[in-house]
Amino acid sequence: GETKEMEMEMDLLVSETVASGDYFLTRAAAQPILEALGFPIFLASLVSVLIASVPYEAVKLISKKQRAALKNEVLLNMLVEEEERRQREQTVVDKVSNGVFDFIQKLNVRSDSFDNDDESDDFDIEEEFVQPEIPGLDYIELFADVTKWLEYDVLVNSYRGVLALPNGQMLGPSLESAVFGILAALSSQLYTDVLYLYSDFGDPEKREDTLNRSARGWTKVYITKCVSSA
């Protein structure tokens, strides 16, 4: 339960960190190449952001599918445990009545087998469990991610070397980059929530989660966003 939830949240943070690393590496390689090919500096910066967003989104999509598979496994294990508990709690009368019912079912299946040889009476929880749909690309998230990196690029180009502490000391490059990352991530998350709340685009499940999000949930989402982007 809670352990699996914490594991999925940690995986989300790790995947965001790995995806961001891939983004910066790709962009650092793409922009000089584009400038060498004759692209103007502004256009090279813009195009490099779009190019670097491709591996970023790919890592996030792979991680999303892994989390969905883990969630499905947890649900299946819960169903299996519930079935095992139900069978352990059965009384003798329940077991006898179930045995009679199964015997009658088998007789019916045998009588129907002359008309349909492919029909089978063997069912288990794994066969009856319907796998939820594996999540695909969410266009609201894609829009928000690209917007985040564009905003980060604008902040870096416009305010690098300008931010200072209250005592007048200039921020170091690492801290300055973290501040820009947090501001861009917060703005991106705000765009995401507004689109989920006031449009019909994007993943319906995420839109429902956003509509029903508690005050604690809102705080958790934005804190996680800040930590993963700093």
Predicted local distance difference test score (pLDDT) of residue 120: 44
Confidence of residue 34 (pLDDT cuts 50, 70, 90): very high
Residue 224 Cα to chain centre, angstroms: 13
Predicted local distance difference test score (pLDDT) of residue 92: 57
Q: What is the mean pLDDT of residues 214-227?
A: 87
Predicted confidence (pLDDT) per residue in 44-100, tens digit: 989 999 999 999 988 888 888 887 787 788 788 888 888 777 777 766 556 666 666
149 compared with 3, residue with greater pLDDT: 149
Q: What is the DSSP letter of 200?
A: S
8 compared with 24, residue with greater pLDDT: 24
Q: 3-class SS at 230? A: coil
Predicted confidence (pLDDT) per residue in 174-195, tens digit: 888 889 999 999 999 999 999 9
Which residue in 31, 51, 15 sits closest to 228, CA to CA? 15
Max avg pLDDT among 23-27, 105-109, 165-169: 23-27
Predicted confidence (pLDDT) per residue in 115-155, tens digit: 544 444 444 544 444 555 555 678 888 899 999 999 999 99
Non-local (6+) Cβ contacts of 76 within 8 A are 125, 126, 129
Which residue in 164, 125, 147, 165 sits closest to 49, CA to CA? 147
Predicted local distance difference test score (pLDDT) of residue 110: 58
